[in-house]
Structure 1
Amino acid sequence: MIDLGKKRALIIDDSPAMCSSLRTTLSNFGITRCEMSNSANEAVFRIRQRDFDLIVCDYCLGDGSDGQQILEQLRKSALIAPTVAFLMVTAERGYEKVVSCAELAPDDYLLKPFTAETMRIRVERVFEKKDVFAPIYELIGGGKAEEAITECDRILDLKNKFAIDLIRLKGELLITLGRHEDARLLYEQIIAARAIPWARIGLAKTLSMAGRSTEAIETLELAIADTPQYLGAYDLLAQTHEQQGNAELAQNILEKAVDISPNTLSRQTMIGEMAYRNGDLETAQKAFGLVVNKGKYSFSRSHNDYVNLSRALLDDNKYEEALNVIGDAKKSFENTPELELASSVMESLIYQGTARHAESQKALAKALEVRKEHGLRLSDAVSIDLAKSCFLNDEEDEARALVKDVVSNFYDDEKIQKMVRQMLDKVGRGNESQDLIEKSVTEVIKLNNEGVLRAKNGDLAGAIDLLVAASKRMPENVQVALNAAHALIVDSDRNGWNEGNMFLARSFINGHAAKHANLDKFKKVSALFKDVSLKFGVKVA
């Protein structure tokens, strides 16, 4: 029996009367520790202050935000643990809104009007499931994915009623560990019994990981045909097609997903970026414009959304609009060095487009000054914009150095290289693009290989010097960072614990965890770090 009296709840609704009504309903079945928020920002403030066991959130909020955005950003920012129950409440029975809620997978959602008894049953069921999954979540949180899989199997052996959810989580863990063959067999067993959409998507991921892209595409197309509202299939299908060079087809697929559920801001950003790469400025402006407008009320809004929109307007020769967007960004956000640099770069490019050359050079000088003063790590898009401004303002050495840095950091990313080529075409240097890119790629591969060779030949000190210096120069290059971390760890393993080296190794690993945790090499280096730490009795958080 679930003891609801120990649970702390947060109700989010723009109507104070509805908040009070829901609080009364919750208190009637034991949840008396209950706080209320009438806006998304107030809710997030409370969530940052203390832990809640249950969040009951209305879909439609009067401040311009909605429950979907709150859930998306809470999970994206890891502000709520997997053990927190999130219930969505909505009076909207329309297809689009309900699909949007379902896509973000709240633990449950209630359609108004509902009875107190209905809510009690739903809440108890959600907490019953959370209790079953609690030991698994704890293992995952401690970085013990293998043990978490074992725990999934243990609970499955008990014939638990949440078996299908346990199998789903087990499949995700297998993929995280790179055990795609085991995951494939698991998903195929599920599909043989019932063609569940998430199982088909999981199967497609395993096929893609095994290099079987054609089969992955066929699997995703079947999933979409059978369940057209399951939007995760569109995202993976679009990603797979773009990787194969079918960029326009990939965009069309994402557009279909956006037509079904237009309020997921992360997908709008994806389609905006893809449309921009494809030269479809109208779609890019529409997508980025929606992100800016809807994101005004989001606690995780970013000045980068404004920069994206300004860039798309600039390329469409809408100079005044582009400048106004940057002006709005400067009014809407605290003046951080990152914002000052990005806005100065965009202003430089806009002024250049309107033949205000002196102002363009002044804005560029400001951007370069901020970059040097604060030692900022630039995003790939801002780096390319800065290189473009340098070329247009006859700062050619600076421009080439920036291009080299971008390509070196993302030497195996065709999307970034495509953006670099497009930029060079726009500044009239398309004939140099292949040479610039090839030289940069060749240099980083040569440098990386030399560091690895030194390590293999026993010159760990030389390998560390080379790879650490290279990783600091190319902080986004995951291969160089992992090779540097590997050399640092091996040195401690062979020559005794070196606190400084292991701290640096940890920083290289953590710096790429968000984007590259699924890489086989990342997993091997991370495992080696833990093993060596354990060998010397050092606890790994």
Structure 2
Amino acid sequence: MSRPAAPSSPVFSPAVPASPAAGRRPGRKELTGISHEELQSCRALVIDANPTSRSILTAQLRELGVGTVVQTTRPQEARRQLEVQNFDIVLCDYHFDASESYSGRDLLDDLRRAQLLPYATVFVMVTGEATYAKVVEAAESALDSYLLKPYSAVALSERLQQARHRKHVLQDIFEAIEASELERAAQLCLQRLEAKKQYWLYAARIGAELLLRLERHAEAKALYEAVIKAQAAPWARLGVARAEFESGQWPAAKRTLESLISSQPTYADAYDVMGRVQLEEGRFDDALATYRRATSLTTGSINRLQKQGLLAFYLGEDEEATKALDRAAAIGANSKMFDYQTLVLLGFLRFDQRDAKALQRCADGVARALERAPASPRLQRFAAVLGTVGVMLERRIAATVEQVRAQAADIRAPGFDLEAGCNLLTLLARVTAFDVQLPDATDWVRTIGLRFATSKPAAEMLVRAAHVHPPFQDTLRETHAEINRLAESAMSLSVAGDPAGAVRALLEHAASTGNTRLAEMAALSFKRHQARIDDAQAVGEAIAALRAEVGQQTSKLPIDQLDTRAAGGLRLHGDAA
């Protein structure tokens, strides 16, 4: 039976509460175990391009007693609704009209990645027979439900009843998370698992996520493995890989992911984690291929488009970067999932293309974001970078030099991070390639390299950021080698029986470079050999002051800024959207 044609323009129906009279109609269907008052307070979102299907779903929800039902035809509009308000129930069609490249699965994936779908929300995918297998896969991954067409009101009622009942059963866990009592919430999950109480599998997933956030990686891995023994769920296998990766066991994580991808080649979250492992190994080209695959599986995912575009940009794949970043901006510019670093990189590409109008659109987008958050240092830096690129394209050389100097003055500022360093390197490389004379440029590049060459992937990201000017790349490689030499030289003192000398040397080098890796090494050496250091109190105070100045060591790359949730992770009930 053919479906009626979907409307060509988006239709958004405002929330319409069910009337009290309708809620008390004799003979109406009800969700057992849920009070009339609770149903009246429920909010539901129906996402379906087909007006007939949408009307039927809405009517069935109201017949069941759901108090407020909101309707929309397009997943992008639904995403915007979910960004600004909470819903207890979401009913989403899997396929939309032919003009939509964004499916219900893409929406579910993006909502989970951006932590816009609380774990307690009931998300039901509605599908036809032909897509049954795909929806089962999505439902299993997200621990949600599905409805297979044609379905009855009774089937819908049963799905909602089961999911709402789960929320009641696990309420103590959600309340603990809401109160930020993560330890207690994790313990409640473990107790439910051990006793094999109702919904123990759901509780196990929440518990494993909590353990990862508490950095109890070995326990999280053990919990995921316990789940796998009962049910070889893809999310549990991915959880094992995440625990291995986050505890520094990259080869093990890689093996786990290779096995998972071999058996689940369409599980996009697995490619996200694999890409991050490859970046940690310094295999940037392989990581781009992996992110490219993830994007192909979820073509409307803003986050994955941004990741692919960012890495393609740093690898000099300008055409691919432009296409991915442009699409991310087109479908996500008004979304909380959108990261404005996308417009910075797109602005650089528009400069390379000498497209002043497109560059100005990028600058205007960042300016609007800055108006909404004027105190954001990150957005302020973005606006400054794009402003400099704009005046350079206008060939206002004096203004270009002045603005670059102003930005370079912040290189040693505490809030100036690796992302900022990469953006400034990208700017410096283009300014120099544009034949603008910057006598201090090489010194600035060296300062950035010494500060942020904290790991192999971080150093490689810095080198890639300067790819349009190879001499800067050589300087950056030299700074990474220098940081390694300084670390080895200091640690040789400890091996020779002078741990106090090692700590002091590391402190001196960290202070002169601002390198957090050296500062962390000093702190670890001090902790290990504190009893053997005469003026331990003074040294400890110096380490604390230095760490406060340069910040904590972090493995975050610019691409990590795009993630509000680890791939495969969950939004917990108390997480901020």
User: Secondary structure of 2:259's partner?
Assistant: helix
User: Secondary structure of 2:142's partner?
Assistant: coil
Q: CA deviation at 1:243?
A: 1.6
Determine if contact 1:340/1:370 at 8 Å carries over to the other structure: no
Q: Which has the higher helix share?
A: 1
Report which structure shows greater RCO (CA 8 Å, sep ≥6).
2
Q: Which residue of 1 aligns with 2:264?
A: 227
Fraction of identical pairs, as percent = 22
Determine if contact 1:91/1:113 at 8 Å carries over to the other structure: yes
Q: Which residue of 1 aligns with 2:33?
A: 2
Determine if contact 1:200/1:219 at 8 Å carries over to the other structure: yes
Q: Which residue of 2 aligns with 1:519?
A: none
- 1:420 is aligned with what amino acid? L
Determine if contact 1:237/1:253 at 8 Å carries over to the other structure: yes
Q: Which residue of 2 aligns with 1:495?
A: none
Looking at structure 1, the residues matched to 342 and 136 of structure 2 have their Cα atoms a distance apart, in angstroms, of 25
Determine if contact 1:175/1:206 at 8 Å carries over to the other structure: yes
Counterpart of 2:422 (choices 359, 384, 387) is 384
Counterpart of 1:325 (choices 346, 358, 368) is 358
Instruction: Give the number of the structure whose alpha-carbon radius of gyration is greater.
Output: 2
Cα distance change on mapping 1:290 and 1:95 into 2, 3 Å: farther
Looking at structure 1, the residues matched to 340 and 183 of structure 2 have their Cα atoms a distance apart, in angstroms, of 39
Counterpart of 1:419 (choices 456, 461, 474) is 461
- The 5 A counterparts of 1:190-229 are 190-192=227-229, 194-209=231-246, 211-229=248-266
Q: Which residue of 2 aligns with 1:166?
A: 203
Cα distance change on mapping 1:254 and 1:390 into 2, 3 Å: closer
Cα distance change on mapping 1:247 and 1:73 into 2, 3 Å: closer
Looking at structure 1, the residues matched to 338 and 221 of structure 2 have their Cα atoms a distance apart, in angstroms, of 37
Q: CA deviation at 1:363?
A: 4.5
Looking at structure 2, the residues matched to 372 and 141 of structure 1 have their Cα atoms a distance apart, in angstroms, of 42
Looking at structure 1, the residues matched to 47 and 231 of structure 2 have their Cα atoms a distance apart, in angstroms, of 38
User: Secondary structure of 1:325's partner?
Assistant: helix
Q: CA deviation at 1:291?
A: 0.9
Determine if contact 1:346/1:385 at 8 Å carries over to the other structure: no
Cα distance change on mapping 1:301 and 1:453 into 2, 3 Å: closer
- 1:268 is aligned with what amino acid? L
Counterpart of 2:385 (choices 330, 341, 345) is 345
Determine if contact 1:70/1:298 at 8 Å carries over to the other structure: no
Q: Which residue of 2 aligns with 1:534?
A: none
Determine if contact 2:360/2:390 at 8 Å carries over to the other structure: no
Q: Deviations over 1:123-145 (max 9, x none)?
A: 11111122222222222333433
Counterpart of 1:433 (choices 472, 476, 480) is 476
Q: CA deviation at 1:429?
A: 3.1
Q: Which residue of 1 aligns with 2:63?
A: 28
Cα distance change on mapping 1:301 and 1:146 into 2, 3 Å: closer
Cα distance change on mapping 1:26 and 1:266 into 2, 3 Å: same
Looking at structure 1, the residues matched to 420 and 133 of structure 2 have their Cα atoms a distance apart, in angstroms, of 35
Looking at structure 2, the residues matched to 19 and 207 of structure 1 have their Cα atoms a distance apart, in angstroms, of 44
Determine if contact 2:43/2:69 at 8 Å carries over to the other structure: yes
Q: CA deviation at 1:239?
A: 1.9
Cα distance change on mapping 1:76 and 1:225 into 2, 3 Å: closer
Q: Which residue of 1 aligns with 2:14?
A: none
User: Secondary structure of 2:273's partner?
Assistant: helix
- The 5 A counterparts of 1:10-21 are 10-13=44-47, 21=56
Looking at structure 2, the residues matched to 430 and 280 of structure 1 have their Cα atoms a distance apart, in angstroms, of 17
Q: CA deviation at 1:379?
A: 5.7
Determine if contact 2:322/2:346 at 8 Å carries over to the other structure: yes
Higher mean Cα deviation, 397-406 or 159-168? Answer: 397-406
Q: Deviations over 1:28-78 (max 9, x none)?
A: 122124445677787678767765432334567899777566655655555
Q: CA deviation at 1:276?
A: 2.6
Q: CA deviation at 1:3?
A: 0.9
- The 5 A counterparts of 1:399-418 are 400-401=443-444, 404=447, 408=451, 410-418=452-460
Cα distance change on mapping 1:194 and 1:366 into 2, 3 Å: same
Higher mean Cα deviation, 121-130 or 49-58? Answer: 49-58
Q: Which residue of 1 aligns with 2:90?
A: 55
Cα distance change on mapping 1:363 and 1:172 into 2, 3 Å: same
- 1:426 is aligned with what amino acid? V
Looking at structure 1, the residues matched to 536 and 564 of structure 2 have their Cα atoms a distance apart, in angstroms, of 31
Q: Deviations over 1:318-376 (max 9, x none)?
A: 222xx433322344451626656535524544765x6x5x4254256457668989x99
Q: CA deviation at 1:286?
A: 2.4
Cα distance change on mapping 1:97 and 1:407 into 2, 3 Å: farther
Residues matched between the structures, number: 474
Looking at structure 2, the residues matched to 210 and 48 of structure 1 have their Cα atoms a distance apart, in angstroms, of 32
Looking at structure 1, the residues matched to 526 and 459 of structure 2 have their Cα atoms a distance apart, in angstroms, of 29
Cα distance change on mapping 1:304 and 1:431 into 2, 3 Å: closer
Determine if contact 2:125/2:146 at 8 Å carries over to the other structure: yes
- The 5 A counterparts of 1:83-94 are 83-89=120-126
Looking at structure 1, the residues matched to 472 and 449 of structure 2 have their Cα atoms a distance apart, in angstroms, of 17
Looking at structure 2, the residues matched to 311 and 415 of structure 1 have their Cα atoms a distance apart, in angstroms, of 22
Q: CA deviation at 1:407?
A: 5.2
Looking at structure 1, the residues matched to 459 and 225 of structure 2 have their Cα atoms a distance apart, in angstroms, of 37
TM-score (norm 1): 0.71
Higher mean Cα deviation, 126-135 or 360-369? Answer: 360-369
In structure 1, list runs of 5 or more residues that go unmatched: 480-510, 517-541
Q: CA deviation at 1:9?
A: 1.1
Cα distance change on mapping 1:332 and 1:350 into 2, 3 Å: closer
- 2:477 is aligned with what amino acid? Q
Q: Which residue of 2 aligns with 1:533?
A: none
Looking at structure 1, the residues matched to 326 and 137 of structure 2 have their Cα atoms a distance apart, in angstroms, of 19
Q: CA deviation at 1:220?
A: 1.7
Q: Which residue of 1 aligns with 2:491?
A: none
Q: Which residue of 2 aligns with 1:180?
A: 217
Looking at structure 2, the residues matched to 213 and 304 of structure 1 have their Cα atoms a distance apart, in angstroms, of 28
Determine if contact 2:315/2:464 at 8 Å carries over to the other structure: no
Determine if contact 2:426/2:466 at 8 Å carries over to the other structure: yes
1:471 to 2:548 alignment? yes
Q: Which residue of 2 aligns with 1:275?
A: 312
User: Secondary structure of 1:10's partner?
Assistant: strand
User: Secondary structure of 1:250's partner?
Assistant: helix
Determine if contact 2:46/2:58 at 8 Å carries over to the other structure: no
Looking at structure 2, the residues matched to 157 and 436 of structure 1 have their Cα atoms a distance apart, in angstroms, of 52
Q: CA deviation at 1:81?
A: 3.6
- 2:548 is aligned with what amino acid? S
Looking at structure 2, the residues matched to 42 and 241 of structure 1 have their Cα atoms a distance apart, in angstroms, of 35
Cα distance change on mapping 1:85 and 1:378 into 2, 3 Å: farther
Cα distance change on mapping 1:110 and 1:464 into 2, 3 Å: farther
Taking only aligned residues, the RMSD between alpha carbons, in angstroms, comes to: 4.4
Q: Which residue of 2 aligns with 1:497?
A: none
Determine if contact 2:91/2:123 at 8 Å carries over to the other structure: yes
